[in-house]
C-alpha cells in the first residue's frame, strides 16, 4: 500500500563530498598521500585519471552551491584539506590563500542557506608526514593533526556550526596497512594497523579537546563507516567471528567516540596476542574526556562473515578471528561490486539507539556508484538514474522505520552532490545527483537530483510500504 513516508521537522537533506575529491590538488602548497600516489604510480588509477582539478570545485563552488540549493539540499559536507590550509605542517601556521578559499566557500554556502558540515581528515595525510614520521603510526603526527585542527577552529570556528574530525578512520589502517588497496598499499601489517587505530582515536580526541577549549557555538562529531557484521549462521563459531569483526571494524572507533573507552573484548584479544597498541594514562584520559556531540554514519554495504579459515598471513592479522563470507544469492551493485542490503541501515540505527545512548546521528554517506551512466542519458541531456532513486527510497524507508521507533537520526546525506573523483577508482563509478562531463566540467542535474528536490520539499515521499522487506 502506498503511504507517505514522513521525516521529522528540520531533517537534513543533503550530500557529502571531500576536499581532495572535489577540489583536487589545484593550488595547494603540499601534496597528500593520494596526490603523491598518483604522481608515482599513475597506472593504479582507473583510466589514468588523477586528482589534478578533480571536479573543479575550487573554481566552481559558487555554481555548485547554487545547484545544490536548486535540488533541495539544505546541508552539505566537505573537508578542509590539511595540505591546503596549512603552510607549516610542524607549527600549524596557516596559508593565507588556503584560509581565503575556505572562507569564500563557507560564505557561499551561507548565502545559499546551506548548513555546512566541515570535516578535517578524509584519507589525506600530507605525504611529507608519512615519509618523515610514518604518518598515523607516529604520535608526533597526532600532535601535528591537533595543531592543524586548532588552526582550522581559529580561522573558521565562528562560521561553522558542525565539525567532524575524521571521515571513515577505519579505512586508513584497513586500506593502507591490512589489505593494500590505498597507498602505502601495505598488506598484513596487523600490529601497525592496531597502533594506527589507537593513534587516530587519540588525534580525534585531541582535536575535540582543542575545540572545547575555544568555547565555540557549535558541535563536533566524527564520521564512521559502521558496517554491521552479519554471521553466516547461528553457530558459536560464526557468531564469535561476527562479534570480533564488529569489535575490530566498528566498535574500535565507535566506542571511544561515544564513551571514551575501547571495547574490553577487543583489548583482551589484542593483549593476549601481544599486539595491543602503546598508550599511556594521559592519552587514555584525553580519549575518555573528549567524546563527540554527534556521529555521522556512512553506510554502503554490509559485512558478512564466517568462522575463520586458515590464516595465510605471516604476521598478526584480524583475519585470525573471522573470514569474509560470500553469501549465495546476495543482491549486488555489479559496478562497484558491493552488496545492496537496505535493512542494515535499520540495524545500525537500532544499535545506536539501544547500545549508544541514542546519541544524535545522521546518515553522512549512502549511495550507489554506477559505471557508464552515459547510456541512461536522454535527449534533453538528463541522466535517467531510476536505479539510484530506487536505492535511496529503499534505504530511506528502513531509516524512517527506525526513526518511528525512536532513533535519534536528524538527517540523510547521500554520496555525493556532483560526480567526484573516487581515489584510485577515479571517475569509474558515478554517484552524483549532478553529472559532470570531464571534458568541459559541464554540470547537468540527473533525474535523482529532481527527485531529491521533491523529497526535500515534502520532507518525505510516497512509498509502497509493503515492499519494506529484507
Ligand atoms: C566512502 C568514502 O568510503 O565511499 C568516499 O568516504 C568514497 O571518499 C565513497 O568516495 C565511495 O566509494 P568509492 O570507493 O566508490 O569511491
Across-strand partners of 435?
A: 444
How far is ligand 1, taken at its centre, from the CA of residue 280, in Å? 34
Q: Is the CB of 167 under 6 A from ligand 1?
A: yes
Q: Is the CB of 365 under 6 A from ligand 1?
A: yes
Q: What is the pLDDT of residue 311?
A: 72
Residue found under cell 552539505: 76
Secondary structure (3-state) at 2: strand
Residue found under cell 584520559: 285
Measured distance CA(19)–CA(39) in Å, rounded: 18
Q: Is the CB of 429 under 6 A from ligand 1?
A: yes
Q: Is the CB of 415 under 6 A from ligand 1?
A: yes
Sorted by sequence, the CB contacts under 8 Å of residue 262 that are 6+ apart come out as 201, 251, 252, 255, 256
Ligand 1 nearest-atom number relative to CA 369:
15
Residue 286 corresponds to which cell in the numbers above? Answer: 584525553
Sorted by sequence, the CB contacts under 8 Å of residue 220 that are 6+ apart come out as 162, 163, 164, 165, 207, 208, 211, 292, 293
Per-10-residue mean pLDDT of the chain, 470 residues long, equals 95 98 96 98 98 97 98 99 98 98 98 98 98 98 99 98 99 98 97 99 99 98 97 98 98 99 98 98 98 99 96 89 98 97 98 98 98 97 98 98 98 98 98 98 98 98 84
Element of type H or E holding 272: helix 264-272
Across-strand partners of 464?
A: 2
Ligand 1 nearest-atom number relative to CA 225:
3
DSSP state of 335: T
How far is ligand 1, taken at its centre, from the CA of residue 422, in Å? 6
Residues 5, 460: contact at Cβ < 8 Å? yes
Q: What is the pLDDT of residue 76?
A: 99
Element of type H or E holding 99: helix 96-111
Q: Is the CB of 371 under 6 A from ligand 1?
A: no
How far is ligand 1, taken at its centre, from the CA of residue 314, in Å? 29
- Residue having the nearest C-alpha atom to atom 11 of ligand 1: 422
Measured distance CA(370)–CA(376) in Å, rounded: 11
Choice among 31, 192, 210, 365 that is catalytic: 365
Ligand 1 pocket test, pick from 363, 415, 430 with the greatest ligand atom count within 8 Å of Cβ, gives 415
Ligand 1 pocket test, pick from 369, 414, 420, 427 with the greatest ligand atom count within 8 Å of Cβ, gives 369
Secondary structure (3-state) at 128: helix
Measured distance CA(315)–CA(332) in Å, rounded: 33
Q: Where do the H-state alpha helices sit in 356-429?
A: 386-404
Residues 366, 412: contact at Cβ < 8 Å? yes
**DSSP labels, 171-182:** HHHIIIIIB-SS
Q: Is the CB of 168 under 6 A from ligand 1?
A: yes
How far is ligand 1, taken at its centre, from the CA of residue 51, in Å? 14
Burial class (CB in 10 A: 0-12, 13-18, 19+), 357: exposed
Measured distance CA(125)–CA(145) in Å, rounded: 9
* Phi, psi (degrees; rounded to nearest 5) at 191: -65, -40
Output the pTM of the full model: 0.98
- What sign does the CA torsion over 308, 311, 312, 316 have? positive
User: How many CB atoms lie under 10 A from the CB of residue 454?
Assistant: 13
Residues 122, 224: contact at Cβ < 8 Å? no
- Residue having the nearest C-alpha atom to atom 5 of ligand 1: 422
> Is 174 labeled as catalytic in the residue annotation?
no
> Is 137 labeled as catalytic in the residue annotation?
no
How far is ligand 1, taken at its centre, from the CA of residue 22, in Å? 12
Q: What is the pLDDT of residue 379?
A: 96
Residue 266 C-beta-side C-alpha neighbours within 13 Å: 24
Strands (E), 90-234: 93-94, 115-121, 162-167, 219-224, 229-231
Ligand 1 pocket test, pick from 422, 428, 430 with the greatest ligand atom count within 8 Å of Cβ, gives 422
- Residue having the nearest C-alpha atom to atom 2 of ligand 1: 168
User: Cα–Cα–Cα angle for 20, 74, 115, nearest 5°?
Assistant: 60
Cα 199 to Cα 116, 190, 272, 284, 383: the distances in Å are 27, 14, 20, 11, 43
Amino acid at each position: 500500500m502506498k503511504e507517505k513516508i514522513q521525516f521529522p521537522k528540520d531533517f537534513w537533506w543533503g550530500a557529502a563530498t571531500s576536499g581532495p575529491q572535489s577540489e583536487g590538488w589545484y593550488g595547494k602548497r603540499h601534496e597528500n598521500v593520494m596526490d603523491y600516489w598518483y604522481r608515482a604510480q599513475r597506472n593504479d588509477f582507473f583510466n589514468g585519471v588523477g586528482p589534478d582539478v578533480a571536479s573543479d570545485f575550487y573554481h566552481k563552488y559558487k555554481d555548485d552551491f547554487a545547484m545544490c540549493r536548486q535540488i533541495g539540499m539544505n546541508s552539505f559536507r566537505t573537508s578542509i584539506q590539511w595540505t591546503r590550509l596549512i603552510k607549516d605542517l610542524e607549527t600549524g601556521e596557516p596559508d593565507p590563500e588556503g584560509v581565503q578559499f575556505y572562507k569564500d566557500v563557507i560564505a557561499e554556502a551561507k548565502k545559499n542557506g546551506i548548513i555546512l558540515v566541515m570535516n578535517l581528515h578524509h584519507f589525506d595525510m600530507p605525504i611529507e608526514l608519512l615519509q618523515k614520521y610514518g604518518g598515523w603510526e607516529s604520535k608526533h603526527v597526532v600532535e601535528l593533526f591537533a595543531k592543524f585542527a586548532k588552526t582550522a577552529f581559529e580561522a573558521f570556528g565562528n562560521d561553522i556550526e558542525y565539525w567532524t574530525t575524521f571521515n571513515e578512520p577505519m579505512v586508513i589502517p584497513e586500506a593502507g596497512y591490512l589489505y593494500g588497496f590505498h597507498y602505502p598499499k601495505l598488506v598484513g601489517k596487523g600490529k601497525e594497523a592496531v597502533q594506527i587505530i589507537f593513534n587516530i582515536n587519540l588525534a580525534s580526541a585531541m582535536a575535540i579537546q582543542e575545540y572545547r577549549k575555544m568555547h565555540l557555538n557549535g558541535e563536533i562529531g566524527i564520521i564512521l563507516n559502521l558496517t554491521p557484521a552479519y554471521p553466516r549462521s547461528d553457530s558459536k563459531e560464526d557468531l564469535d567471528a561476527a562479534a570480533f569483526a564488529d569489535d575490530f571494524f566498528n566498535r574500535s572507533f565507535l566506542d571511544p567516540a561515544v564513551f571514551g573507552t575501547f571495547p574490553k573484548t577487543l583489548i583482551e584479544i589484542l593483549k593476549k596476542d601481544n599486539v595491543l597498541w602503546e598508550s599511556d594514562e594521559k592519552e587514555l584520559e584525553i580519549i575518555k574526556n573528549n567524546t563527540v556531540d554527534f556521529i555521522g554514519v556512512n553506510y554502503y554495504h554490509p559485512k558478512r562473515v564466517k568462522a575463520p579459515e586458515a590464516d595465510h598471513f605471516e604476521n598478526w592479522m584480524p583475519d585470525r578471528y573471522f573470514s569474509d563470507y560470500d553469501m549465495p544469492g546476495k543482491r549486488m551493485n555489479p559496478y562497484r561490486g558491493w552488496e545492496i542490503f537496505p535493512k542494515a541501515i535499520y540495524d545500525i540505527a537500532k544499535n545506536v539507539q539501544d547500545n549508544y545512548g541514542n546519541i544524535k546521528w545522521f546518515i553522512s554517506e549512502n549511495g550507489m556508484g554506477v559505471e557508464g551512466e552515459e547510456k541512461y542519458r536522454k535527449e534533453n541531456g538528463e541522466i535517467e538514474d531510476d536505479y539510484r532513486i530506487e536505492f535511496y527510497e529503499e534505504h530511506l524507508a528502513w531509516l524512517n522505520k527506525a526513526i518511528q521507533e525512536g532513533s535519534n537520526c536528524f538527517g540523510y546525506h547521500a554520496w555525493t552532490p556532483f560526480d567526484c573523483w573516487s581515489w584510485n577508482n577515479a571517475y569509474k563509478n558515478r554517484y552524483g545527483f549532478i553529472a559532470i562531463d570531464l571534458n568541459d566540467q559541464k554540470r547537468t542535474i540527473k533525474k535523482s537530483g529532481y527527485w531529491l528536490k521533491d523529497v526535500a520539499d515534502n520532507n518525505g515521499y510516497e512509498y509502497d510500504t509493503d515492499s519494506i522487506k529484507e
